[in-house]
Amino acid sequence: MVLGEVSASEVAVIDRVSPEVLQMVPASQIRGRTFLLLHKKTWDLDSLNYSVPGTSLKKATEKSRLLLRNSLNKISFVQHMANFAKDLELDSALTLSQAAIGCEFQIRQVQGPACSQLRDIGFCEQMRVKKLTDGRNMLCTVCGTRLALSRDLADQIQVVPA
Amino acid sequence: MSDSSIKARIALVGNPNAGKTTLFNALTGKNQKVGNYAGATVSRKSGTFFTPHGHKLELIDLPGAYSLDPNSPDEKITRDVLIGDQENEETPDLILCVLDATHLERHLYLLLQVLDLGYPVVAALNKIDSAEAQGLSLDPTALSEGFGVPFVAISAMTERGITQLKHALRHPFPSPPGRLWKGPAELEDAIEKSIKLAETKGETHPTASGLTSVANKGPETKEFIQKTRFEFIHRVVEAGLQRPNEDSLALTDRIDAHALHPVRGWIIFTALMLTVFWSIFKLAEVPMGWIEQSQEALQGWVESLIGEGDFQSLIVDGIIAGVGGVLVFLPQIVLLFFFISLLENSGYMARAAYLMDGVMSKVGLSGKSFLPLLSGYACAIPGIMATRTIPNAKERLATILILPWTSCTARLPVYTLIIPLIFAGALQQGLALFGIYALGTITALFAAKFLKPSLGKTEAPQFLLELPPYQKPQWTHVLRQVGERAFAFIKKAGTVILGLSIILWFLESYPKSDSDDPIVQQSESFNGQIGEIMEPVVAPLGWDARMGTAMMASFAAREVFRSSLAISYATDEEDGEEMRDRLTASTRADGAALYTPLVGLSIIVFFVYALQCLPTTVVVRRETGSWKWAIGQLAAMTVFAYLAALMVYQTGKLLGYS
């Protein structure tokens, strides 16, 4: 997963962020959500000592630090970084039924009651898939094979642009 | 091993539509049915062949499977044979894994699972010519190194690489590489312990049992193992396969843009079906004329050779009229099989299933049920066996129960005898035949709608189907299949129909009456007596006693209806008069025409719905595992057929038709 030049594991998502924080930490808005770009960040929220390469946080005022702390407390799903990155990836992933026709995707996750059957037929994580038609049943190609599958099954396949 | 000269047993394993049966035919010289759609093979078949070193090997063709975690009964057969759970079946000595070179990554998953079981394996990279045409660059050496088994590039259809493959299958077999993927230490420990436990329990395949029990510990473990296998495949395939840019639209894409279009697709489907039914009447006219002329010539020759009497009557009115009356439909049956075979070979069958899924879902079935129903147009028995590809048990049962309502070829002689009594002209007759097939199919779908809820609650069926690329039909296979079907039909005519014709002639000719009047003779014969009993039952359908006895006889084989009528009306024969003319000329006691369009319609409706095929009932019992369903189906369809014919005739009469 790549957002511009930034790896997903270096990105945090928060629901609300104050303008002061945005001045301190590079961020971008994608589909109405704020993505903080935390380049190899290390946070120590108790002492409010933090460092982000490429920013000069020591120059931040006490007020800015307080605002940043408040904002970070509002992060709705601060977790362990690995889970955090996974959530982000899934957040930006689409189901195969939502994916656009004619575009190539990579399967990120197969989850649901039919996941085992879908993997057996070729819809496995990391496989490339191209959606050909939409509708009640959709056509797609996986590794050159044309497969028809129902919308319910396509909903169990999460993809990201390849 | 049952045959001591057989050196070893080899099982053909691969994904559906990988070309296993084509390879089986190429190696053994047999002619098993092949089709360009997933699920053409649903049962185990075997044959033998010799290696270049003169060793005789037994080859077992197994149903296609995407993995060894079965999702349908046909996949279960493959799994059970490989892990030694199949009754009366020894485990094979070597697995010949057939991989479609054009879809290699997907097919390698099953190969990894087979290797996990500890079998020696030879991998056949089939359809190599198609892969080359698509610009795929395959390196069998790199793949062999990656998987630790020989990879042989072949084309089973053109028999390219078959000699090299036979060399690779030489005895002694390559040693099994075993499990190639490795999980984290914790998982490996669990697998090792589980395999040891299976060994102490004395399981046939401890590796398989051990892996299965670990995988079944939870969905996360199963998912982890699946992903690990695919990661291994990715690594090896990177070295062994290079794909071209796939920007250009392939021929299949261009055809599918029309064939699967929601509007144009249906127009194409309907046009194809209409063409098939029109052709059955139009193209068969000439050869049918030849057979009729030959039959008449033969009857004339026998009459000139043998003096008048019972023996002449047996040969002319019994055997030649009975068997010839059925054989005359051979061209139509050959044509129907030819078209079905073409559809199967070209890859269109899967498209028809895709189109039909929308309709099928409205009655609680999926497009997967349509493939067996379509096979049922040829014969109900392979159709019922093809339901093994349906993963959902309730959907499978519902499909089996409704399947005999898709008209099989055994009904064709009845339809093609009666339709010209109602309609003139090949186009109208073709449309009528299309209507008859549509009537059976639509009723079957309605029946499924009402039947399925009574079979118990089940999840809605999910549609998941592989659409193979279109290909030119394999003419040798098409012609061989049609030839085999034609031979089977002729064999049936020469055995079952011949035997029944002799019995029917006997029932028609004995006991002898004192009167010379053929009508009196007929009424006093056994057939006449049976007819008397049957007449009150069939009279409400507009039928006479002779039709009643013919209908009874047709429960042995539907084609006998035609033979029975031919024998019954042989006594009415005028010189040079064809049977259909005799039927048209026959009258009731009051002088009214007997075979009116309404009576014809009543006969057709009865034959559309009646299940007059005991082998079908036996197969239904085997596939459902219960006589309850088999007998219930036979009884319900017979009663329904009678009531439907009754309703048609009585309603027609009320509306003023005769």
Of B389, B408, B413, B387, residue with least CA distance to B325: B413
Q: Is there a contact between B243 and A144 (Cβ–Cβ < 8 Å)?
A: yes
Question: In this complex, is the C-beta atom of B463 within 8 Å of any C-beta atom belonging to chain A?
Answer: yes
* pLDDT tens-place string over residues B328-343: 888 888 888 888 888 8
- CA of B459: how far to CAs of A136, A150, B98, B394, in Å? 17, 14, 33, 9
The half-sphere exposure of B559 on its side-chain side, counting CA atoms within 13 A, is 28
Instruction: Please give, rounded to a whole number of angstroms, the shortest distance from the CA of B380 to a CA of chain A.
Output: 26
Q: Contact A139/B260, CB-based, under 8 Å? A: yes
**One domain for residues B206 and B112:** no
* CB within 8 Å: B230 and A142: no
| Contact yes or no for A119 and B230 at CB 8 A | yes
Write the residue in B66, B227, B361 that is nearest to A121 by C-beta.
B66
Low-confidence stretches of chain A (pLDDT beneath 70): 1-92
Q: How would you label B565-574 residue by residue, b for 16+ Cβ within 10 Å and e otherwise?
A: bbbbbbbebe
Same domain, B45 and B83: yes
Q: Report the pLDDT value the prediction gives residue A80, as an integer from 0 to 100.
A: 38
- Nearest-angstrom CA–CA distance, A73 and A45: 9
pLDDT, tens digit, for every residue of B367-407?
888 888 888 887 888 889 888 888 888 889 999 999 999 98
Radius of gyration of chain B (CA): 29
Q: Are residues B488 and B581 in the same domain?
A: yes
Largest CA distance in chain B: 97
Model confidence pLDDT, tens digit, residues A84-93: 455 555 556 7
Q: HSE (CB half, 13 Å, CA atoms) of B102?
A: 20
DSSP state of A100: P
Q: Looking up tokens 């030879």, which residue turns up?
A: B122
Q: Are B64 and B74 in contact (CB under 8 A)?
A: yes
Query: Which of B544, B560, B595 is the last residue in one of the domains?
Result: B595
Q: Order of strands, edge to edge, in the sheet holding A27-30? A: A11-14, A33-37, A27-30
B202 and B164 within one domain: no
Average of per-residue pLDDT across B77-83: 88
Domain annotation covers residue B624: no
Q: Please check whether residue B66 lies inside any domain of the structure.
A: yes
**Residues B367, A137: C-beta atoms closer than 8 Å:** yes
Pairing of strands A42-44, A49-51: antiparallel
Residue B99 backbone phi and psi in degrees, to 5: -115, 135
**Cα B530 from Cα B550, distance rounded (Å):** 10
* DSSP labels, B365-388: --GGGHHHHHHTTT-HHHHHHHGG
Domain count, chain B: 3
**pTM, 2 dp:** 0.73
Residue B273 lies in a domain: no
Say if residue B92 is in the same domain as residue B162. yes
pLDDT in tens, B482-491: 888 888 888 8
Say if B93 falls within a structural domain: yes
Lowest-confidence pick of B155-164, B280-289, B402-411? B280-289
**Chain centroid offset of residue B214 CA:** 38
Q: Is the pLDDT of residue B656 over 70?
A: yes
Who among A133, A139, A143 is closest to B106 (CB)?
A143
Domains plus CATH for chain A? 2-92 (no CATH), 94-161 (2.30.30.90)
Q: Over 70: is that where the pLDDT of B232 sits?
A: yes
- One domain, residues B64 and B158: yes
My answer on whether B79 and B21 are in the same domain is yes
Do B130 and B67 belong to one domain? yes
Q: What is the ipTM of this complex?
A: 0.74
Please name the residues in contact with B63: beta carbons below 8 A apart, sequence gap of 6 or more. Answer: B16, B39, B41, B42, B43, B44, B74, B75, B77, B78, B388
Residue B20 lies in a domain: yes
- Among residues B595, B621, B646, the one where a domain terminates is B595
Mean per-residue pLDDT over chain B, rounded: 86
* pLDDT tens per residue across span B35-49: 666 666 777 888 999
Q: Can you give the CATH number for the domain in which B88 is found?
A: 3.40.50.300
Which residue, B537, B568, B595, sits at the end of a domain?
A: B595
Shared-domain flag, residues B186 and B163: no
Structural domain range at position B70:
6-168
- What CA–CA distances, in Å, run from B634 to B369, B374, B444? 21, 21, 14
In tens, the pLDDT along B529-569 reads 888 888 899 999 999 888 888 888 888 778 788 878 877 77
With vertex at residue B10, the alpha carbon angle to CA B5 and CA B16, rounded to the nearest 5 degrees, is 145
How far is it, in rounded angstroms, from Cα B528 to Cα B510? 10
pLDDT at B60 over 80: yes
Size of interface A-B (CB pairs under 8 A): 107
Tell me B494's DSSP state.
I
The DSSP annotation for B205-262 comes to -HHHHHHHHHHTT-HHHHHHHHHHHHHHHHHHHHHHEEPPP--SPPHHHHHHHHHTST
At B457, the pLDDT band (50, 70, 90 cuts) reads confident
Residue in A with minimal Cα distance to B245: A144
- Residue B14 and residue B143 in one domain: yes
Asked if the structure places residue B437 within a domain, the reply is no
Is B586 in the same domain as B495?
yes
Identify whether B449 is part of a domain: no
Confidence of residue B178 (pLDDT cuts 50, 70, 90): confident
Q: What is the mean pLDDT of residues B609-614?
A: 87
pLDDT tops 50 at residue B120 = yes
pLDDT for the residue A92: 61
Q: What angle do CA B440, B444, B448 make, to 5 degrees?
A: 175
pLDDT digits (tens, 9 = 90+) for B210-219: 888 888 777 7
Which band of pLDDT confidence, cut at 50, 70 and 90, is reported for residue B175?
confident
Q: B142 and B19: one domain?
A: yes
Q: What is the pLDDT of residue B643?
A: 97
